[in-house]
Copies of this chain bind each other. A is one copy, B any other.
Amino acid sequence: MSKTPKTAIVPTRDDNFPEWYQQVIKSAGMAENSPVRGCMIIKPYGYAVWENMQRIFDDMIKDMGVENAYFPLLIPLEFISREAEHIDGFAKECAVVTHHRLEDDGKGGLKPAGELEEPYVIRPTSETIIGDSMSRWIQSYRDLPMKLNQWANVMRWEMRTRLFLRTSEFLWQEGHNAFETADEAKADSLKMIEAYRDFAENYLALPVIVGEKTADERFPGANNTLTIEAMMQDGKALQAGTSHDLGQNFAKSCGISFQGRDGDEQLAWTTSWGISTRLIGAMIMVHGDDDGMIMPPKIAPYQVGILPITKGDENDDAVLDYANKLKDALKEVGIRARVDTSEARIPDKMWGMVKKGVPLRVEIGAREVQDNALTHVRRDLGRDSKTTCGFGEFIGQASSLLDQIHETLLTRAKTFRDANIFDVSSLDDVEAHFKVKGAKGFARIDTDKIDDPQYIQLQKRYSLTSRCLPLDDDGKKVLVGKAY
């Protein structure tokens, strides 16, 4: 038998995918659990990813005429009650504020005091409070369309949590648009899911399938929910962003009405759309390997990691100067680079960059300085891609190398996904696939099959859900799989 290869992450993906995921996050220093139940701490390296995502997507939506605003963290209980329809959804499990003061408890500690007449809920989402503002801000068709977004923290009291994927508190953007007509709202919900697809594929290298949710998987109160679904390396689905056509449902409960062109009072048509820090989890599970994270170059906190190979001799200063010169030259051409000047051992620095998934690693020793050269390694291809080239040559091609890494990650993930989507013609075939231990991927079947009672049984037995009706299949097919 061949010797098991040594990997930087233990266990490997094959051995234990969920534990591999936790170890990748830990070894890259992206996030960790906090002393607050179900809430995570996003560490600087993980938060930098979110910041890059925010800047890119924020620019995209501003180009579409969306304006950012900020609405209160707390929602009056009455607003939630009004949305009775939504309560069957996630809103039941949420953090409730009942007091507004702390008092000495007489035992050296503190206790809640100042009970509120009406409790507040920490926003699980903001349709109701933003809808309340819209009902005041929208008076005439001239006020439409209104497109608002907020970058905010939200809370849902989750019982089983996992870093980035499901936490009680998470960060997201929630967009809330209002329109004059049903057609505009429908077109907008398509436009926003298309923006998410663009963002996921072209910036996160995350191939996604755009589709409609089935009725049972829709956002409560939505006429239609569009989703982008990604496939993780364990074959499970992850819903990576959603866009809801809310029809006039929220307009009705929030009283968003306006005087139309004909002078009549009418209800607005609204949409809402969101992506969250969950996307970071998706990127880890799509791109990571047994040596750790692989950052898609466009959102990588630093795109080039520079490793000065100092040996404690007279060449060290020259090596460090050269490394900094490289960093500055890369900055000039718009590339984020970082020199590791920590006191760690050289192999530890090298593995640190690998585990953090820095797209390009550059090694510089006394020899490179002498030759005005450098050695670079692509994280996506590993040590086989090790290349030595001139300083100027590298500066000239670094941007193109990063693009190639992006393309490689996207293609690799797409190839894996497409190889794990199975066309099946009967529910028996679905069962035949998923009953095999370790079965993964999505089954694609005719949409009418989901009304068959056998489908419900299969879902329960194998923890399957209808992921979406891909738009590319005109609603005739549904993808079925396990999901995060």
Contact = CB atoms under 8 A, between A and B. Distances in A.
A119 B102 CA distance: 10
A80 B104 CA distance: 11
Contact of A142 (B44, B81, B343): B343
A268 interface: no
Nearest to A171: B70
Interface string A128-166: 010011000000001000001000110101000000000
Given A47-B70, A69-B41, A101 B112 contact: no
Interface string A398-428: 0000000000000000000000000000000
A97 B96 CA distance: 5
Interface stretch (A31-39, A183-191, A444-452): A31-39
Interface in A35-83: 35-36, 39-44, 47-48, 50-51, 67-81
Contact of A110 (B42, B80, B97): B80
Contact of A73 (B79, B99, B108, B122): B122
Interface in A187-222: none
A36 B119 CA distance: 10
Contacts of A78: 109
A476 to B, nearest CB: 39
19 contacts: A39-B72, A39-B74, A41-B72, A44-B69, A44-B148, A47-B67, A47-B68, A47-B70, A48-B67, A74-B169, A77-B109, A77-B110, A78-B109, A87-B110, A93-B100, A94-B101, A96-B101, A98-B112, A152-B153
A168 to B, nearest CB: 8
A44 B72 contact: no
Q: What is the size category of the interface that chain A forms with chain B?
A: 35 or more
A34 B97 contact: no
A374 interface: no
A191 B122 CA distance: 36
A110 B72 CA distance: 20
A95 B100 contact: yes
Interface in A1-55: 34-36, 39-44, 47-48, 50-51
A99 B120 CA distance: 11
Contacts of A72: 34, 36, 39-41, 169
A276 B152 CA distance: 16
Contacts of A80: 102, 110
A142 B133 CA distance: 50
A48 B290 CA distance: 43
A95 B74 contact: yes
Given A43-B69, A47-B70, A102 B108 contact: no
Nearest to A156: B100
A73 B153 contact: yes
Nearest to A58: B51
Interface of A: 34-36, 39-44, 47-48, 50-51, 67-81, 87, 91-103, 108-112, 114, 119-122, 129, 132-133, 142, 148, 152-153, 155, 157, 169, 171, 342-343
A448 to B, nearest CB: 36
Contact of A44 (B68, B95, B108, B132): B68
Contacts of A36: 72, 74-76, 120, 129
A79 B148 CA distance: 37
Contact of A92 (B93, B94, B101, B129): B101
B96 A99 contact: yes
A96 B93 contact: no
A53 to B, nearest CB: 13
Nearest to A71: B41
Contacts of A40: 72
Nearest to A40: B72
Given A81-B108, A94-B102, 13 more contacts: A34-B133, A36-B72, A36-B74, A36-B120, A47-B68, A51-B68, A73-B155, A77-B109, A92-B102, A96-B97, A98-B98, A101-B157, A152-B153
Contacts of A109: 77-78, 81
B102 A77 contact: yes
Contacts of A43: 69
Given A101-B92, A343-B142, A47 B69 contact: yes
